[in-house]
Chains A and B, each alone.
Chain A
Amino acid sequence: MKKVTFTKRPAKGGAVQVHGTVVSLHNGLLLVSTGIPSLDSVLGGGVPLGSVFLLEEDVHTRFSTLLTKYFLAEGVTSGHGLYVASANVNPNVLLNALPKPTSMSSTRSSQQKNDNDMKIAFMYKDLPKNQSSLSGVSRYGHYYDISCNMDKSEVEKCDLKSLRLTDEISYGEGKNDMFRYTLKHLKQCINNSRYEMPQKNSGDQQLNVLRVVLPHFASPLWCGDKPDNIHNIVRFLHCLRAVARNSMIACLVTIPTHLYHENEVAMIRQLVDTSVELEAFVGEKNPVFKQYHGLLKIHKLPRLNSLVNFVPDSFDLAFELKRTKFIIEYMHLPPDISETASRQGMDETNDKLHPRSACGGVSLNKKLDF
């Protein structure tokens, strides 16, 4: 006997369901959140899986460090694996200081109720639940409170890998091999923990995303003795992109591009998929920028499998850091209400003739000029 009830066919192409990711509305790629919802919307939903996201650091690295922390914190709340390779800072220092997500505890109780409600909508019982089993808060994009640190236990639940590049590595094999060592280590981690892109579309596989973070990459501490550092950096980024395309990883690389020349920076931007530059204000006196902490400049947006990429409404973006949110806004000119417009000869005569009434006379003295 045939089944009468309607059962949905499995989605064509074996749509991969990975927690913490969302399918892009523009081009069907799997996207991963940066940890900042407003940055996600500017980039077209998030960072595509298998791409390299370059964050060009502000001069004092205050905000780039913060964005790195948001990216890692988002990885923790989504249950992704984390990989940090750093020559500057001890990776554990970075991992211990992640911001805490706001409103993390609320949804566990609501999850249990859902199982009992399927008496009427029983057709939908077989559909995969959107909420993952991990923390219950796997909706895409979270807000973080930078004043508190995330619990260490939450961080340790994730698959953590870190690499600290020290002198032993660099002096042992030659200075330029810092890059090579990092690549080799990254490839090993990907192979060991099965973050490779699945060859077959078997729906039962538990796929996860590895977030690769390279903070302060290409700073003077990464570079070798020779003046042709840029070639090594360029080669590394090329190989990194190749590794990224074949694996379930999303890379965040921060580079202090203010230390490099224009043409070198252009070469670096050529080899990444997304490039965003932060310019922080220090002692800025321009009144237009009063409420913002800096400018956000987009140099490149990802275009992985389409002819046209997503373009935000405007490229004049500025950011503001609040305790619980990192806000990116379109900059606009404030309305031009000139305060000195007044009509001479009017002021004294009006008062004498008739007293001001609520509806008529006050507006004459108001200094609004349209």
Chain B
Amino acid sequence: MLEKLLSGEETSRLVLICDDQFTNGSTLLRAFARSLIKRGCQLHLFCFEQHPTNFVNHLNLHNDSNVHVHDFYSDPIGWNDGDGCLLGSRLFDINSKVNQEQAGGSNTAVVIDSLSITLQTCESTSVCQQLHKLSHNQRVIQTVMLHHTHLHVDDVTKRLSHISDSVLKLNLTSSLPKITFSKKSVHDGTICVTVHRKLNGKVFLSEEKVEILSDSSVEACPWQQDPLSAQTGGISLNEEPDVTSEANLTFNLNLSVREKKERSKLVMPYIKASEEEKVEIHRSTGGGGKIFYEPDDVDDFDDEDPDEDLEF
């Protein structure tokens, strides 16, 4: 599912990448940016957390003409420019900025490095409204945003997920928090849990192990939570002593082969009784079906039985 979203096979107007203090989502964001440029889009890059040249250099592009950078990193509150307006109102111009710099009829895509600063200065509902308008903008084919879930309350994440078509949540493979750095767990990596909502309403959930290579291409393979490793935090079981081993017992719990045979030969008392009945029935019926009726004294045996007149 992740690869389909990246390549554009699955259309998704608003993609939300969620990371936390243990995972890094900016590499995945760059991968999205790169694939959008490859598809021939005019990319509008809104940088809040990294210097724009840093971001663009990591994209490893041959030519930068398709990338329009909106730099909110260098002067976020507008001290140098002099207007001193709050950062939030600058984000509201996203729509107008995108519409302004439209060259011809090519597709536009928007990548927002991080929503955190905007969410801290403005109400999340306003941000949601702006993003919704952006996603419904006719010219914009996709908007990709990065969101740091640990910096905001759950409500904000829920609202952003509600308006997004695809939510990509990055987790670590080991569910235990990394307290020590000395012991490296055996299976360490990033999983991406994707919840994608198609246009017709159907929802797809997929969990994939993600590896992002140095040239910003992504390898994703499906991954299933291994229950054993989840509990033990990725430490292989061989290291721990087997608690239930029978080596320390003074008596033997297992049966030898001969003893097993003897056990199967043993006939239970209730079998004998049912066997005798079975044998009798077999002898008497002999394949046919006969009814042996012995009338009691009380029974009338009427010779003029009217039932014989009945014809079926």
Q: A61, A280, A357: which contacts B282 (Cβ < 8 A)?
A: A357
Complex contact B125–A282 (CB within 8 A)? no
Q: Majority SS of interface residues in chain B?
A: helix
Interface size class, chain A: 20 to 34
In the complex, whether A220 has a CB less than 8 A from a CB of chain B is yes
Complex contact A61–B278 (CB within 8 A)? no
Complex contact A282–B195 (CB within 8 A)? yes
Inside 8 A of B203's CB, which chain A residues have their CB?
60, 62, 280, 282
Chain A CB within 10 A, most for which of B155, B263, B267, B271: B271
Inside 8 A of A226's CB, which chain B residues have their CB?
123
Inside 8 A of A344's CB, which chain B residues have their CB?
263
In the complex, whether A346 has a CB less than 8 A from a CB of chain B is yes
In the complex, whether A312 has a CB less than 8 A from a CB of chain B is no
Chain B CB within 10 A, most for which of A66, A221, A229, A344: A221
Complex contact A225–B125 (CB within 8 A)? yes
Q: Which of B241-263 contact A (CB under 8 A)?
A: 263
Inside 8 A of B278's CB, which chain A residues have their CB?
354, 360-361
Q: A219, A348, A353, A357: which contacts B275 (Cβ < 8 A)?
A: A353
Complex contact A345–B267 (CB within 8 A)? yes
Complex contact A259–B282 (CB within 8 A)? no
Q: Which of B109-166 contact A (CB under 8 A)?
A: 123-126, 128-129, 132-133, 155, 158-159, 162-163
Q: Mark A334-362, 1 if CB is under 8 A from B, else 0.
A: 00000000001110110001100100110
Give Cα distance in the complex from A344 to B163, angstroms: 60
In the complex, whether B310 has a CB less than 8 A from a CB of chain A is no
Give Cα distance in the complex from A315 to B39, angstroms: 51
Give Cα distance in the complex from A227 to B128, angstroms: 14
Q: Which of A233-265 contact B (CB under 8 A)?
A: 256, 258-259
Q: How close is A43's CB to chain B, nearest CB, in angstroms?
A: 24
Complex contact B279–A220 (CB within 8 A)? no
Complex contact B266–A345 (CB within 8 A)? yes
Q: Are A220 and B282 also in contact (CB < 8 A) when A62-B202, A349-B267 are?
A: no
A selection of 5 A-B contacts at a CB cut-off of 8 Å is A60-B203, A259-B162, A346-B271, A354-B282, A357-B282
The chain B residues found within 8 Å of chain A, CB to CB, are 123-126, 128-129, 132-133, 155, 158-159, 162-163, 195, 197, 201-203, 205, 263-268, 271, 275, 278-279, 281-282
Told that A167-B133, A219-B163, A225-B125 touch, could you supply 12 new A-B pairs with CB distance under 8 A?
A59-B162, A60-B201, A61-B201, A220-B124, A220-B125, A221-B128, A225-B126, A256-B162, A345-B268, A349-B271, A360-B278, A360-B281
The chain A residues found within 8 Å of chain B, CB to CB, are 59-62, 65-66, 88, 167, 219-221, 223-227, 229, 256, 258-259, 280, 282-283, 344-346, 348-349, 353-354, 357, 360-361
